[in-house]
Every structure is written in structure tokens, then in C-alpha cells.
A = this chain, B = another copy of it.
Amino acid sequence: MSVPPLHAGNIWHDRGWRPASQAPGIVDGRFARSTAADTPGRFIVPGMPNLHSHAFQRAMAGLAEQRGPGDDSFWTWRETMYAFAAALEPDDVRVIATQLYIEMLKAGYTHVCEFHYLHHAPNGARYANPAAMSLALIEAAKDAGIGLTLLPVLYMTGGFDGRPLGERQRRFHHDVGQYVALLEQLKPLENPMLNIGIALHSLRAVPPEAMRAVLATSVARDMPVHIHIAEQIGEVQDCLAIRGTTPVAWLLDNAQVDERWTLVHATHLTGHETQRLAKSGAVAGLCPTTEANLGDGLFPLADYLDAGGCLGIGSDSHISVSPVEELRWLEYGQRLATRHRNISARKAGDSVGATLWQASLAGGARASGLALGAITDGARADLLVLDDASPLLVAREGTDVMDSFLFAGNTPLVRDVMVAGQWRVRDFSHPREAESAADYRRVVERLASL
């Protein structure tokens, strides 16, 4: 199937705008030089992959901003999150995820990597179909029309000492055999809009031998591998105490960390780890709004970029769902810490907006394990049309458009969104948003009444 000619004003490619005459066409949901599609609007940019999501957390956005009896931290937040998750069943997760994924599309995300650990029933029992929760997420992505890399999470232990999971974590547990069986059940469902990958929850939750066993299976071969790492100082200290080294150093020493890997957060790095991670080809999965909300800390961005490191962004806990806010505050956090400006642009004349959008496309695509994130032949046809009628874009040309897109104002500039050659959002509106919002209201009101 092909769609009509792409008569675009300007198409963002790598570090600049290409004129309409060089616009590619779209065949079977991929960009191809042979045809062209009808796309109104002066500025068209590749859609952003969201490399880290825990969809169910969307429904608790705003519910953890009240002071507890002591010092609040990541760890007290986690208790709130476990309590919230306790009642969720697959249909609840499907409804919440559908709402979230529609919000993602409207914000400019065209693909999501779902780091999915809520596998079993509230009492810890397996569902009749052990993939029930995974299938709910796949259905949500399909209903919303967003691309999905589903990453079922292996979560076995409650700490580096190998202690068993607590009662509220029992819904997350698989042994290696059960986990590989889940991957094998899901793998045949793959299609251009769905990739299956591996998620190791963290080094504290996956013993070394289990990590090696999973990675050695045939189903795991070529799958993307994601892991939470070095988000909190406490995790780094525990790893040092028990394994004699930091989590990132341990992983780099004990796994073949390469372009297949996404290290989520990687907040607390030594200078040497920053260099090694950059050279490995792995993606640093940065989630600036969640990392700020949880008080994690700041990633060593300038050193990592100077070393050629690859990065992408995720909305993670979904207190925010916007690539603009993620990238704006990724940069601003660095400015506050260094008291200098324009940190992500490492060379004179570089635009911060263009640099960050481009870097996150590349890292997000690598994390997804699919050919997407660029308007080039063969890539999945994911794109955004910016609202060139907005006062924020008046008289903006060249990279100033990307800077104004990311650094000016607070009204969304993503007007239309295409995924795999299909329009999902037109004129700021998604065809299923009213229906989804009604379903979401029903589910969240029920959860609140429990």
C-alpha cells in the first residue's frame, strides 16, 4: 500500500531541513524514494521513540507529592507505587496504557519501549494465560496506534544479597525457565509495529547466573536488552559492598554490553565509567522528568557526549509525557549544575534543540531494536508535523525552529502525527481520545474507590 505524494515544506534530516523536492514517499508504512505523500505543514520532523515506560504508573501521576512522616526519597515513593499497583488487573492496565499511549502520540512519541514487570495476579498467582498482562499492553499499543517494543522484565531477588522478593513484589517474579517461556510465547507476535526484547530489572533483582542463562538462550539472540542501573546512590553502595565494584563497572565487566543494550538512568557514573559506557555503543536511557521527580540526580551529559556516547529519552513514571519537557530539562539541569549555557551543543554554531532531538532519535531507535527515528529510505514512516501557525514559530528558520520547538513556551507544537505511514493524530486530535478518556475515568474512579 502506498499513500499520496509527500508535498512537505521542510523535512528535518540529521542536522538540517531538506526541501520538499527531496521528500521521500511512503510504501507499506516505510519511507521510500519512489513515491511521495501529501503532508501539509512547513516543518516535519521524525517522531520520537520513548525508550522507557512503566505504563500503569500514569494513573498515579500527582499522587506522591505529599510529604511523608520522614524524609521522602525514591524509596518512600516506591512504597506508594507498590500500594497503587496492588489492585491492577490486565484490563485496568490495558485501559490506562491506551490512554497513556494516546497522550504519548499527541506529545510526539511514535514508539514506546515498555519495561513491563507487573506480570501476575495481585496475590502473585499466574494468570491462566501467563502472558495476560503482556497481551493487554500489546492491545493498548495497537488500539492507540503507537509502535511498541515490549520488554518483559525479569525480576527475581530483592537485593544484591539475593534475598527473596517482598510480598508486594511477588507479582513481578519469574524464574529463568518461566521467563524464557514468556519470551518464546511473545516472539511470534512480532511485526513492524511490535518488537519483543529483554529487560533485566536491575543488578539487584537479577542474579549473575540468571542474567547469563537468559542471554545465552536462542530466543534472546538479537533482542534488545534493557536494564535499570545506577539510578540511586543506595544501589551503587550496595553493589560496592557485595560485589566490590559499582553496578555499571560490574555490568561492563560481566556482559557483552554493546549496541543491543540500553542502560536506563545510569545517573551515578565515575569518569571512567562514563568513557567506557560511551565507547560500548550502548544507549544511556535518560528520563529527566522522572529522575527529577524522584530526586535521583544528574547524568554526566557533557563528558558522555564528548566521548561519543549514545542517548535516548523515556517518560518512565509519566508524571510528564512530553519529549519537549524531557529534553528541555535534560539541558537545563546541566546548566543549573555548571552555571553555563548551551551544554548539549558541544561545538560553536551547534543548536541545542537540533542536537538533542537528533541524539534522542538515534538512541531511541537503537533502544527499540527497529529501523525508525529518521526520515530515510527503509525506516518506518514515523513523523510529526509542527504547528507552523503557532506564534512560537513565527520567523523561525533552520535550527532555530528546533530550538523554539524545545525551548520556547508551553503549548504543544505537535499538530499531526504519523506512525508507519498512518495518521494517528490530525490537528491535535486522536480519533479514539474521547472513548479512551471515558474508559480511563471508569477504571481510575473504581481504583480510587477501593
A interface residues, Cβ below 8 angstroms from B? 61-74, 76-77, 99, 103, 107, 233, 289, 291-298, 319-322, 324-325, 329, 332-333, 335-336, 338-342, 345-353, 389, 391-392, 394-396, 399-400, 403-412, 437, 440-441, 444-445, 447-448
Report if A350-B66 is in contact (Cβ < 8 Å); known contacts: A297-B339, A395-B448.
Answer: yes
Residue of B nearest to A440 (CB): B391
Q: How far is the CB of A43 from chain B (nearest CB, A)?
A: 13
Q: How far is the CB of A65 from chain B (nearest CB, A)?
A: 4
Q: In the assembly, what is the distance between CA of A71 and CA of B338, in Å?
A: 11
Q: How far is the CB of A365 from chain B (nearest CB, A)?
A: 23
Q: Which residues of B contact A342 (CB under 8 A)?
A: 65-68, 72
Q: How far is the CB of A154 from chain B (nearest CB, A)?
A: 28
Question: Contacting A294 at CB < 8 Å: which of B107, B233, B341, B441?
Answer: B341
Question: Contacting A321 at CB < 8 Å: which of B71, B291, B409?
Answer: B409
Report if A339-B295 is in contact (Cβ < 8 Å); known contacts: A66-B350, A352-B65, A400-B62.
Answer: yes
A409 x B72 contact (CB < 8 A): no
Q: How far is the CB of A72 from chain B (nearest CB, A)?
A: 4
A341 x B391 contact (CB < 8 A): no
B394 x A72 contact (CB < 8 A): no
B336 x A297 contact (CB < 8 A): yes
A410 x B297 contact (CB < 8 A): no
Q: How far is the CB of A386 from chain B (nearest CB, A)?
A: 12
B392 x A67 contact (CB < 8 A): no
Q: Which residues of B contact A341 (CB under 8 A)?
A: 64, 72-74, 76-77, 293-295
Question: Contacting A349 at CB < 8 Å: which of B61, B66, B392, B395?
Answer: B66
Q: In the assembly, what is the distance between CA of A351 and CA of B297, in Å?
A: 22
Residue of B nearest to A295 (CB): B335
Report if A63-B400 is in contact (Cβ < 8 Å); known contacts: A391-B99, A391-B437, A395-B447.
Answer: yes
> So how many copies of this chain end up in the complex?
2
Residue of B nearest to A63 (CB): B400
Show 11 A/B contacts (Cβ-Cβ < 8 Å), sorted by A.
A61-B392, A61-B404, A64-B341, A65-B342, A66-B400, A67-B345, A107-B410, A293-B341, A295-B335, A325-B410, A391-B440
Q: In the assembly, what is the distance between CA of A437 and CA of B342, in Å?
A: 29
Q: How far is the CB of A217 from chain B (nearest CB, A)?
A: 38
Q: In the assembly, what is the distance between CA of A437 and CA of B345, in Å?
A: 31
Q: In the assembly, what is the distance between CA of A340 and CA of B67, in Å?
A: 11
Question: Contacting A409 at CB < 8 Å: which of B292, B320, B389, B400?
Answer: B320
A322 x B410 contact (CB < 8 A): yes
Q: How far is the CB of A37 from chain B (nearest CB, A)?
A: 28
Q: Which residues of B contact A67 (CB under 8 A)?
A: 342, 345-352
Output the residue of A63, A395, A444 with the most chain B CB within 10 A. Answer: A395
A61 x B233 contact (CB < 8 A): no
A335 x B294 contact (CB < 8 A): yes
Q: Which residues of B contact A392 (CB under 8 A)?
A: 61-62
Q: How far is the CB of A32 from chain B (nearest CB, A)?
A: 33
Apart from the given pairs A65-B342, A67-B347, 15 other A-B contacts in the complex at a CB distance below 8 Å: A62-B353, A62-B408, A66-B342, A66-B345, A67-B346, A76-B341, A107-B410, A291-B336, A292-B335, A294-B335, A295-B340, A296-B339, A319-B407, A394-B445, A410-B412
Residue of B nearest to A77 (CB): B341
Residue of B nearest to A356 (CB): B65
A62 x B396 contact (CB < 8 A): yes
Report if A339-B293 is in contact (Cβ < 8 Å); known contacts: A61-B409, A329-B329, A407-B319.
Answer: no
B340 x A73 contact (CB < 8 A): yes
Q: How far is the CB of A298 from chain B (nearest CB, A)?
A: 6
Q: How far is the CB of A374 from chain B (nearest CB, A)?
A: 22
B408 x A319 contact (CB < 8 A): yes
Q: In the assembly, what is the distance between CA of A219 and CA of B346, in Å?
A: 51
